[in-house]
Structure 1
């Protein structure tokens, strides 16, 4: 059994998926129910909604063999979280509790959050908000990119809960930095960092690194992926990080396309001190 969180307007939603395995080991996964929460989303709340789903499908608690969860306290908390609620229900019912598994991709996303990119992200998000939060600005910028036949025709909004968007927005921003600079200057809202070569180096570096992280993320997805496959991908990525670290130290940008591009354009050397 799996759960997922979604957002519609301001109300969180709980999506309950049920996975089953038949006698021939064929795996079937279906969305069992969607529950909108208009108040709290505590472990108890989630447990109650999941219990309703189990009852609706005429299942018994002892039939649940495995539950996948993320690292949120309302899910993984051993005192008040969803895990605690299930454990207590199993004790009361007199049957064994299921195996609890953590989302591997969720853990990978948490690791990415430990990378301090605030020196770049704060400015990037501010500029994107200037362009996208005003309908007129956004329309004019979109048309401007069309007129110059730009490969990228828009800037995506940054959303913290969608970890893949971070790499996408940094890549788009890097590729469109000249156009953004020109557009903001014409709007009498020049952004000085867009002419700061050291800051652009940092932008290029983080655009490349988040690209590598997103590539790993996509490899970890898919219904046919086994845990052994995911382990191989993670192990390979750890080895890749060692290679990337060595390349950065000697300013070899073979696996850093944005850095390589800016290296050709810029007269300022890569400030390797900020990645130590």
Structure 2
């Protein structure tokens, strides 16, 4: 900026001026406050607004409350991050509501314009007595409380038949055996490079990352031969036997196919201008697709299962 306004010589002189950590911190805080003020002003100019809340524990074990807001500007929906605050002690509904209420009070926002609120179904959010829903309806009775559809879809996909759940658990154990050890990770990377594999690393599964299960299964399928030979060098004969078992690989292919469709659905439920009407249409279409898949699988027609159709005609459908 200095070089454009004054010239290169002035820019060089400014560049050698040392800035303290506090100076940079103050600048970041000033920019953050300015952005927040702009968003708040747009919310005040909008006739209505809605919020989406979630709390999650980060890698440092701090619980962070994240609030997004949707408002109307020039007849269009606009989504902006509104609030990110740590929950220092407990994560009860009253704690979450306290953070939201304090923000509304600090910036003079009107709860009367709050038209909707989206959360997960945790007791802290939807509890009847002291959940966020109860507290929020006391100050904004016109608010519609909605359980996040993406969260619903994720919860539904967690329930698996016992055989498939057992298979998934073994896959996770195989991956964790390698990823939990820096040495094994390096050795497996070199092993994949020597075998000219398409990938050099496995992917970890974590429950809070909703797409990770499908990505994990797909990567294991793509590296199944490399994984089998590596486990053989590690003396893991039980896992080698599983990776050589056709029925077990058939179940793996089946889960890869199913979770690939779930991940596509999950992606489609996100993004700009998403709303309940679009969600309803996409979910209805997905349920119809599931019925079609079940009907095809019942008569051993595997054309709609790309991997399972090539691996085996014996689909492990429940």
Normalised TM-score (structure 2): 0.78
Cα separation, 1, equivalents of 2:292 and 2:52:
36
Asked if 1:58 is matched to 2:108, the reply is: yes
Hey, what does 1:275 align to over in structure 2? Answer: 317
Please state whether the residue corresponding to 1:15 is helix, strand or coil: strand
- Cα displacement (A) at 1:80: 1.7
- Aligned residue number for residue 207 of structure 2: 160
| 2:80 is the alignment partner of 1:33 | no
Secondary structure at 1:65's aligned position in 2? Answer: strand
Pairwise CA distance, 1:65: 2.0
1:178 is aligned, of 225, 229, 232, to: 225
In structure 1, distance between residues paired with 2:255 and 2:158 = 13
The whole-number CA distance in structure 1 between the counterparts of 2:194 and 2:88 is 45
Q: Is the 8 A contact 1:86 1:97 kept in 2?
A: no
Match of 1:224 in 2: 273
Deviations 1:67-116 (A, max 9, x none): 1111111111121211011123x2xxxx6341112211111111111233
Which ranges of 4 or more aligned residues in structure 1 deviate by more than 4 Å? none
RMSD: 1.7
TM (normalized to structure 1)?
Answer: 0.89
Question: Which of 161, 173, 194 is the aligned partner of 1:126?
Answer: 173
Q: CA deviation at 1:56?
A: 2.6
In structure 1, the gaps of 5 or more residues are 264-268
Higher Cα radius of gyration:
2
Name structure 2 gaps, 5 residues minimum. Answer: 1-50
Query: How many residue pairs are counted as aligned between the two chains?
Result: 263
CA distance in 1, matches of 2:297, 2:97: 48
Deviations 1:242-266 (CA, angstroms, capped at 9, x unpaired): 2111221222221212212323xxx
Q: Distance in 1 between matches of 2:296 and 2:109?
A: 55
1:196 corresponds to: 245
Q: What corresponds to 2:152 in structure 1? A: 107
Residue 87 in 1 paired to residue 137 in 2?
yes
Deviates more, 1:66-75 or 1:249-258: 249-258
CA distance in 2, matches of 1:162, 1:142: 24
Secondary structure in 1 matching 2:89: coil
